[in-house]
Amino acid sequence: MAHDDPKPRRGSYNEAGHAHELTFTCCRRYRFLSSERTCLWLSEAIEAARIRLDFSLWGFVFMPEHVHLVLWPRRPSYDISAILKAIKEPVGRQAVAHLVEFAPEWLPRITRRRGNREERLFWQSGGGYDRNIREPRVLTSMMDYVHQNPVRRGLVERAADWRWSSAGWYEDAPSCDLMPDPIPPEWAH
């Protein structure tokens, strides 16, 4: 089965007061996020979406081929799909434009036909995974899981050493400019 084939996904639930752990992947699991440029674009898109759609970013890790975000919508009414789109779409546009100009040999790998039209995919089709988080104990577990991704893969020895992670911020040793929001006391475990 190809990596961009549709698979059954758990639905997103826009429940007031819930946090979300979001996971989404680059097209065909290509390691597009190994590029500093692409990670900067992703960081900028998250910042813009955070301001426009009013959510707190509590944790993140950009792996070479996928992303984990832990966020909490501040508004009682929100659309997690709109948040994901606001983050993913500008990065995809910038990255595809960059490939067109500087690496056109990549275009056949990310192009698919849908009827009479072609589309170029930076992100894998679908919304990725959305796990609602309802209680502090689960949040703590999710944050640990997200931060330990680079360690489990053998990319670093300590989570705080991974460049594109919020783990360093929680150890007063930030490695990037994307700063997580404080987790409110009622969510602390």
Please check whether residue 4 lies inside any domain of the structure: no
Please check whether residue 9 lies inside any domain of the structure: no
Q: What is the CATH number of the domain that holds 74?
A: 3.30.70.1290
User: Residue 110 belongs to what domain range?
Assistant: 19-187
In terms of Cα–Cα distance, which of 52, 86, 83, 82 is closest to 70?
A: 83
Please check whether residue 1 lies inside any domain of the structure: no
Please check whether residue 2 lies inside any domain of the structure: no
Please check whether residue 6 lies inside any domain of the structure: no
Please check whether residue 84 lies inside any domain of the structure: yes
Task: Indicate the number of domains in the chain.
Answer: 1
Output the DSSP codes for 104-138.
GGGHHHHEEEETTEEEE-SBPSS--EEEEE-SHHH
Q: What is the pTM of this model?
A: 0.90
Please check whether residue 144 lies inside any domain of the structure: yes
List per-residue pLDDT tens for the chain, 189 residues long: 333 434 434 455 876 668 999 999 999 999 999 999 999 999 999 999 999 999 999 999 999 999 999 999 999 889 999 999 999 999 999 999 999 999 999 999 999 998 999 999 999 988 788 898 899 999 999 999 999 999 999 999 999 999 999 999 999 999 999 999 999 999 986
C-beta of residue 186 within 8 angstroms of C-beta of residue 137: no
